[in-house]
Amino acid sequence: MKLIKSGLLLASVASLLAVSACNPAKDAKPAAPVSTAPAAATVNGTAISQRTVDLLAKQGAGGGRPDTPETRAAIIDQLALQMVIADEAVKKGMDKTPEVQEQLEVIRQSVLANAYVQDYIKANPVTDEMLKAEYERIKATVTGTEYKARHILVEKEAEAKDIIAKLKKDPGAFAKLATEKSKDPGSKVKGGDLGWVDVRGMVPEFGAALSKLEKGKFSEEPVKTQFGYHVILLEDTRPVEAPPLEAVKPQLSQQLQQQNVKKHLDTLKAAAKIEIVGAAPAAPASAASGAK
């Protein structure tokens, strides 16, 4: 059962850093943001919020970076440097330029949009009833047959025919012959055992031949694929079954959450009056691309 995984709308760390540091003001020094959180550090009297440090540390941990005292010290150091540079930019009046103002507005919108999405997720959690209903819906679509198979892979058709002749005399020798003759390193050590497979995931020629075999029978003609010549043994079949709900619950919950968010955001977008007043100009063609 394939579960779709895609990212939610999240503000980047760079954006968050920029918002926390680049605060335009009327004088030469950016005003400190209003915050009730304790300060982790101050830069020229302006506080670096402990909440900001906690948030960046949490984001880093989610990306695989351990939340350690050293990591937090590095975060504070980066924020402090960024605030120092931002102060200098404000002194030069860069916060008043149209380009910077536009970038700050985009960042502000990104942070607000992210906050809105997180608030929506919190207010509209995925319930057990929703999970069970979605699981049953997906489960009903899971169909097909799985095959328990072995194979022997060789380079030449004559080798495959020789193996088939030996199997006709001694069908029980398949595993032994696979260990001795097969060129497939993955299954060779297991007597050619492929385990349970879905023919839809196999190369077409192999899947077609396997699905036509009777249980306990082997292919009496070599099966040619891009890998060589196969002799295939079908040991058993069973209907494809969906994994238990508990095994896919985290992925399914994330999928439903993302679907719910997308549906809500699509509704908001549909209700808005959006007018495209001009298309972005195309990038000029390079001399190399235009040359013939």
Q: How far apart are CA 53 and CA 72, in angstroms?
A: 7
Query: What's the sign of the alpha-carbon dihedral 117, 119, 123, 126?
Result: positive
Q: Report pLDDT for 231.
A: 98
> Helices (DSSP H) in 194-276: which residue ranges?
204-212, 245-271
39 found inside a domain: yes
157 touches 229 (CB < 8 A): yes
* Structure-token pair, residue 285: 């063609």
Query: Stretch 246-263: mean pLDDT, rounded?
Result: 96
Say yes or no: 18 and 118 in one domain. yes
Say how far residue 148 (Cα) sits from the centre of its chain.
30
* Residue 38, domain extent: 13-123
Let me know how long the chain is.
292
User: Which residue has 């691309």 as its token pair?
Assistant: 289
For the chain, give the mean pLDDT.
86
Tens of pLDDT, residues 104-162: 999 999 999 999 999 999 999 999 999 999 999 999 999 999 999 999 999 999 999 99
228 found inside a domain: yes
Q: pTM for this one?
A: 0.60
Overall number of domains in the chain? 2
Say yes or no: 171 and 207 in one domain. yes
Say yes or no: 168 and 212 in one domain. yes
Tens of pLDDT, residues 167-184: 999 999 999 999 999 999
The answer to whether residue 282 scores a pLDDT higher than 80 is no
Q: How far apart are CA 55 and CA 37, in angstroms?
A: 12
250 found inside a domain: no
pLDDT-based confidence at 12, cuts 50/70/90? very low
Q: How far apart are CA 78 and CA 39, in angstroms?
A: 15
